[in-house]
Amino acid sequence: MSTDKLFLETTIQIERIFGRKKEEIVKFLSDKEALSSNYVLMEFKRTMLKDCISLYSFLKEEKDLEGTLMRLSELRVYEHRTAVRISKILSRLSDSNTLEYEKVLTKLEDLIESELLEEFFYRVNLIDETKCGLANEEVHKNETYSLNLSCKREEKKCEIEAFVLKNEESFRKLLNELQTNEEFEGVCNVIKEIFKDCKKARGRKNCWKLGDCIISLEAPKGYKIFTTDHHYKQICNSLEKEILLLQDLKHATTHHF
């Protein structure tokens, strides 16, 4: 299996920056042609960058690490995924497995203001099939940091309708293949909606639910979609696109890891 050309989706971008095996992933990618997209950048901003900003707010409000860790523990109850991501960020900011408030705050500022996006773009080219306006939103700082990632159907900030029309046949293929799997029920319902009215593809409620499908459609021919998310298997099979799961790579090519 040739892996010279890889399309990096959101979870692998997160893992290569914050994961426990980030050094090995970076080494594996060092001789590969890596591609990603502005849509992936948007997903990365609304997860990791937004979570960095949330963590910064917790630290400033609590004024110590003990209170911040308590907030994080409470967050796990109702926003588990966000709490897990923030834990990854804290792990990245730790110094020899210890946390010091001022050092964490300084490192987090560097991460938010420059380092995070520098690492996202490192040795990666981007394509822009959806013209997602949120991908271009920048962080602003006053008392704390802010990032406007609101996405409303009535406010057109992208070309997702044109993307849907361009890929209508592929969306129909996805609907046909995915509707037999209960895990994709929500995705299939959205696809049915956008066939009736393309404008329904706009806005976070529907567009973000179609994220994995959009990213899979964006990946050019000849590129394997590199991911940690097993849901891409059925999507890529439906589209006759190749996939490389990080989990499979570890088992199949242990000399890389």
CB 257 within 8 A of CB 250: yes
For residues 243 and 246, what is the distance between their CA atoms, to the nearest angstrom? 10
Q: What is the mean pLDDT of each run of 10 residues along the chain (257 residues)?
A: 82 94 92 97 97 96 94 92 94 85 95 96 96 95 91 91 96 96 96 95 94 97 95 95 88 41
Sign of the Cα pseudo-torsion (90, 95, 100, 104, in order): negative
pLDDT of 251: 52
Q: How many helices (H) and strands (E) does the chain have?
A: 15, 7
pLDDT of 98: 82
pLDDT of 122: 95
Quick one: how far is CA 72 from the chain centroid? 21
pTM higher than the cut 0.85:
yes
pLDDT of 3: 59
**CA distance to 30, 86, 123, 159, 249, per residue, from 26 (Å):** 6, 21, 10, 32, 13
- For 135, the token pair is 């991908």
pLDDT of 254: 39
SS3 content of the chain, % helix, strand, coil (to 5): 65, 10, 25
pLDDT of 116: 97
SS3 167: coil
pLDDT of 99: 87
SS3 98: strand
